[in-house]
Structure 1
């Protein structure tokens, strides 16, 4: 068993980017399965897949009242890793940290392949746990010098801006040379940005075509359940759509709300070179990111190997 602190210590955030890129590029995975269970006032997501002789299953709970009612993060869960050849359980770990880092890494992989190489301005719409992870991951692949941050709660945006503008606030260089500005409306952020990341649990679209300029990459991350939606129809109609997993996006992503939208490619096809990425400097691209089980399996497999190397973790005697 690996705890949250052990998960955070075994792999650096930057390690996830190449790890997730390799996972997306694979063509030999087991089918990627998704199930969704409403449990008012929250919901459970179940994701499963496997490769290289292991199978991973994640159960994630999303209860957005947890910060107010329990003083705890909105998302909590576990990942179980199994030997895919005989069913033996190998690893149980806290999943929210993995989800945060692998999701940001997937966006960074999309930015690496789909954003303009001269992208310097990033808009982050939403200030939850994913916001800081996305800022760090995207800065690892593009020369971001300016960030526009929006939140439904303006105080959260102001706090995020103050924290991440502070030069060397973390004792390192992560924020040096970075300007972070809170803005009152999502469109104000989008119209100034080269990359826009949407990170809210909204069920009402709030970002449209008029909120963007030519050449923008939009990573739509918040829509991971059938009733969640962040993008207006006119944006999906005009953009080049790239999915993480098309059948999953059709079930719970932005594609779910406009199912006749043509899909240009899955991200893995672009990584492998079987489909082209960005084709013009002015093309608007939407990456529909619903979060895939192969990301969780890749992370769990790497953490399991690292735990063995570093002799970290606690034996879990389920059959004592």
Structure 2
């Protein structure tokens, strides 16, 4: 089956993604996640694979930040292939950037559901790229967000995003984060910019931008002064914030918190960092749900690989 970007957008809503990603993190039959990183100057490729429940998925994602300027196209592009894990038969082929955007926001929302203060109502979003709007929508599904502040390096883009999404622009990172209960960092930065002094007690910081060895958003003092929860610890040690401070104690993986086998938040005043590198099991869970939804809705078309 082949699904188009438009079909992917329409088949599942934000709440459905949150629930399916939460179930995926909680499962104990997930296959080990495999990750490969390939530099291809001026860009890079990420290859992720995993499986559960009888299906296996592989995602190849390309990230070339000059694509908007040179091609007039988004900086991230890729594909996901879903297979029957028992006989190897290909089941689904689809564009990956839309899935990545929606499942990443859902994973952050799952972390918010389990790690943020119950009454958290102020959200700071650092970065105004493709992930920003999806994160705002997803987090609003799990917490009573009354105020959203945004910041990016480009003041014009910050103001435009704020106007288009009815949120408040901030002049600096600290102006956005210092009073927020939830902070989400969504930048490709290679230099840390968020420190402990800009984060209030009790906040949850979801560090989403670090997904390659050279990317980093958080200063050492923030990691040292926080409880660290990872999506997958070994992957965070390779490409996440943990990669840059490997001696940081890890309290739990998010799946352990969801299953109740390890603690999440221990007090209302502690700061928690969620190191989110994006896992293959999230792609597999989303692709499987899209496949089943497409079968029920009668959408998609056959891709004639064998004629």
With normalisation by structure 1, the TM-score equals 0.95
- More divergent stretch after superposition (231-240 vs 65-74): 65-74
Distance 1:184 1:76 in 2: 31
Query: Aligned ranges for residues 27-176 of structure 1 at < 5 Å?
Result: 27-165=28-166
Alignment partner, residue 259 of structure 2:
272
User: In structure 2, the residue corresponding to 1:294 is in which secondary structure?
Assistant: helix
User: In structure 1, the residue corresponding to 2:17 is in which secondary structure?
Assistant: helix
Select 2:181's aligned residue among 185, 194, 197.
194
Shift of 1:298: 0.3
Alignment partner, residue 15 of structure 2:
14
Shift of 1:259: 0.4
Distance 2:22 2:119 in 1: 21
User: In structure 2, the residue corresponding to 1:295 is in which secondary structure?
Assistant: helix
Please tell me whether residue 250 in structure 1 is matched to residue 250 in structure 2.
Answer: no
Distance 1:220 1:100 in 2: 15
Distance 1:6 1:308 in 2: 12
Shift of 1:110: 0.3
For each residue in 1:71-123, what CA deviation from the matched residue of structure 2 results, as whole angstroms up to 9, or x when unmatched?
Answer: 11111100000111111111100111100000000000000000001111100
Shift of 1:14: 2.0
Give the alignment's Cα RMSD to 1 decimal. 0.7
Distance 2:9 2:169 in 1: 29
Distance 1:305 1:213 in 2: 42
For each residue in 1:20-63, what CA deviation from the matched residue of structure 2 results, as whole angstroms up to 9, or x when unmatched?
Answer: 00000011111111100011111100000001111000001111
Could you tell me whether the CA contact under 8 Å between 2:251 and 2:264 is conserved in 1? no
User: In structure 2, the residue corresponding to 1:18 is in which secondary structure?
Assistant: helix
Distance 2:130 2:21 in 1: 19
Distance 1:181 1:301 in 2: 37
Select 1:233's aligned residue among 220, 223, 233.
220
Unaligned runs of 5+ in 1: 166-179
Runs of 4+ in 1 over 4 A off after TM superposition: none
Distance 1:51 1:280 in 2: 34
The aligned length equals 306
User: In structure 1, the residue corresponding to 2:93 is in which secondary structure?
Assistant: strand
Alignment partner, residue 259 of structure 1:
246
Distance 1:139 1:216 in 2: 16
For each residue in 1:179-227, what CA deviation from the matched residue of structure 2 results, as whole angstroms up to 9, or x when unmatched?
Answer: x211121112110111000000000000000111100100000000000
User: In structure 2, the residue corresponding to 1:57 is in which secondary structure?
Assistant: strand
User: In structure 2, the residue corresponding to 1:14 is in which secondary structure?
Assistant: helix
Unaligned runs of 5+ in 2: none
